[in-house]
A and B are shown apart, each in its own frame.
Chain A
Amino acid sequence: MYQYDKFDQQMVDTRVAEFRDQVERRLAGKLTEDQFKPLRLMNGLYLQLHAYMLRVAIPYGTLSGAQMHVLADIADKYDRGYGHFTTRQNIQYNWIKLAEAPDLLEDLAKAEMHAIQTSGNCIRNISSDHFAGAAADEVADPRPYAELLRQWSSFHPEFSYLPRKFKFAVIASEEDRAAMRLHDIGIRIVKNDAGELGAAFYVGGGMGRTPMIAPLVRDFVPLDQLVTYAEACLRVYNRYGRRDNKYKARIKILVHELGKEEYTRQVEEEFALLLEQNIEPPIAELERIKMFFGDPAYDQDASSEIDRSDPDFALWVDTNTKAHKQPGYVSAVISLKPVGGIPGDATTAQMHLMGDLAARYSFDEARVTHTQNIVLPHVKISDLHALWTELDAAGLGTANLDQIGDIIACPGLDYCSLANARSIPIAQQISERFAKNGKGDTLGELKLKISGCINACGHHHAGHIGILGVDRKGVENYQLSLGGSEAEDTSLAKITGPGFDEAGIVDAVETAADVYLAAREGEERFIDTYRRIGMAPFKEALYG
């Protein structure tokens, strides 16, 4: 894992001091709320329905067991004993007091963590593949590139007042586990014919009210021009992105309105000029960062044998573990989606336990997934039973990865001031319904995602089944959509028809699931069947 040197530490400490000063000026009335807002947002602090919400960055989703303990302590000290892991691979706390926020940030800084640029119209926390460094199919570990970009984008003097928020994702395998093309810039590290690594840049993806899949803008940027190319992409956006309408201010709209060719032309022109400015860190810096992401000390003789006599354990292994590049190891996914639970929530005790388990079974490393679960990336197969036993006892052993119970849901009307409808209770009811009817396993991979309004924080556009909360004459109403995917076969879901009320949407999801079960052929997943048979049979069953 990356470790701060004195420079990184100094930057984070300085930021805490700066924010402490800003909070003091705000509390003393020297800053208006309007002036303070962008400053607190750049430190991850939102004003929500009931209190301040603080979003802590977990760069590329990687954290140590020790850091997980710190997150648990913060939940205890400043919040109500829990935290919420989000689709941005971050953690949010919902009950923060403004006057205490600087102390909280100071506690984070001591553990090499921060909330810098987790909101606001700046470059946000960079997300990545949660199996990075463990996946058998990657051409390289994507995280060193993400760390390089993290440093470049932190306190960037030119790009801190962009037209709108800006999100990067960096991956390095064909399989996309990070919704890469639904980011403002998605980077895939690739190998060219000469065997050299470079970066493919996809620019202009995003969700929100106008979802778009990012087009490929450059198929190979050499690694010693990565930062310069990113700078060119951002400069064109900062200068020409729309600022007249915040709903049209994301880079996806600029790329769409200019057209990919014209946007690319402008970027290439800017890039040529920026190359002369020598702003690129030397390759030695990338090499320095890479050193932190070497393989842990695997047991080379680790056995791959496994005792499957306990059926519950065997089910969990089949559902929640993923193949690892190292023989004798797997990546284990801890589901934060217990039946009827709040997706992504973890209590202080659960976080402490996950911190301990990361230390004991996974070289002190954990990951946050954009699907709001936690990964222990490097677990010895022979330790799996012991790990599962402890998880299960703590309510963390649910075997439902990528199934209908593994729902992504945004905070919705329970917390969010922008919400039209509640998301969490819908997730809870669907999860309970499919636990009760026992169809979860039979359905296999079925990604269900719920947003409480058109901002799409819950990725509903990219759900095999998506649910969007809308307000219909003051009543919560839910639109159903089908056919989205955020994986390498990226697609956007289509709305089925008129929306449903709270009870109706749960029934509608079951109806859609039943159409699939009746129509599926062979090994088809829900999404495959949908793509083959189209919307009509679903519509017929839902409204016919």
Chain B
Amino acid sequence: MVELLRLRKDETHSEAAVTVEAFLGRTNAGAVRIEPGEDGRELIPHLDRIRLVEVNFPVFGDGRGYSAARILREAGFTGEIRAVGDVLVDQIAYMRRCGFDAFAPDTPLNADDAKNALERWGEVYQPTTDGRRPIWAQRHE
């Protein structure tokens, strides 16, 4: 079982994440946590000093965090985006496409299931910031 699945090579950032409100009110925090109702765009002016963004999923069916992550990547964020909370193995492939590169679910992941899930989809229909070439691009090489 894996408590923290990280798809990044850099060192794990161990600073505890603060809330968006606390982050915006301070100058030195390097880790921040986005809750479902919060607007990740507010972080954009400060991306260069953020090392870790945690996106919380209190219930797995609340998909706002997918947009939050993708928006940060589209804005050029290169630090870690970690999905926390009710994160299930059947969601992590889509999360990765939206820019998540770390997963720390409440219930630890089974390593084999996670590996299967991440490797299953050889092709994708949509481009995202993950750099994979969508099917339509390959059709018109």
Q: Does A304 contact B (CB under 8 A)?
A: no
Choose one: A5, A18, A152, A238; the contact of B125 (CB below 8 Å): A152
Q: Does A429 contact B (CB under 8 A)?
A: no
Q: Give the Cβ gap from B137 to chain A, nearest Cβ, in Å.
A: 8
Q: Does A300 contact B (CB under 8 A)?
A: no
Q: Does B81 contact A (CB under 8 A)?
A: no
Q: How far is the CA of A154 from the CA of B122 in the complex (A)?
A: 14
Q: Are A160 and B63 touching (Cβ within 8 A)?
A: yes
Q: Does A543 contact B (CB under 8 A)?
A: no
A-chain residues with CB within 8 Å of residue B60 when the two chains form the complex? 35, 38, 161
B-chain residues with CB within 8 Å of residue A39 when the two chains form the complex? 90
Q: Are A278 and B127 touching (Cβ within 8 A)?
A: yes
B-facing residues in A133-175 (Cβ within 8 Å): 151-152, 154-163
- A10-B123, A238-B66 given as contacts; is B61 within 8 A of A121 (CB)? yes
Q: How far is the CA of A205 from the CA of B55 in the complex (A)?
A: 31
B-chain residues with CB within 8 Å of residue A288 when the two chains form the complex? 139-140
Q: Does A192 contact B (CB under 8 A)?
A: no
Choose one: A7, A158, A239, A282; the contact of B135 (CB below 8 Å): A7
Q: How far is the CA of A160 from the CA of B124 in the complex (A)?
A: 14
Choose one: B61, B68, B127, B140; the contact of A285 (CB below 8 Å): B140
Q: Are B98 and A157 touching (Cβ within 8 A)?
A: yes
Q: Does B82 contact A (CB under 8 A)?
A: no
B-facing residues in A1-35 (Cβ within 8 Å): 5, 7-8, 10-11, 14, 17-18, 21-22, 25, 35
Q: How far is the CA of A21 from the CA of B61 in the complex (A)?
A: 20
Choose one: A5, A35, A239; the contact of B64 (CB below 8 Å): A239
Q: Are B140 and A284 touching (Cβ within 8 A)?
A: yes
Q: How far is the CA of A282 from the CA of B134 in the complex (A)?
A: 12
Q: How far is the CA of A281 from the CA of B124 in the complex (A)?
A: 13
Q: Are B62 and A243 touching (Cβ within 8 A)?
A: yes
Q: Does B126 contact A (CB under 8 A)?
A: yes
A-chain residues with CB within 8 Å of residue B127 when the two chains form the complex? 277-279
Interface residues of A (CB under 8 A from B): 5, 7-8, 10-11, 14, 17-18, 21-22, 25, 35, 38-39, 121, 151-152, 154-163, 235, 238-239, 243, 273, 277-279, 281-282, 284-285, 288
- What are 15 A-B pairs with beta-carbon distances under 8 A? A7-B123, A11-B125, A18-B120, A21-B116, A35-B90, A121-B63, A151-B135, A152-B125, A155-B125, A157-B97, A158-B63, A160-B94, A161-B66, A239-B64, A243-B62
Interface residues of B (CB under 8 A from A): 36, 39, 60-64, 66-68, 70, 74, 88, 90-91, 93-95, 97-98, 113, 116, 120-129, 134-136, 138-140
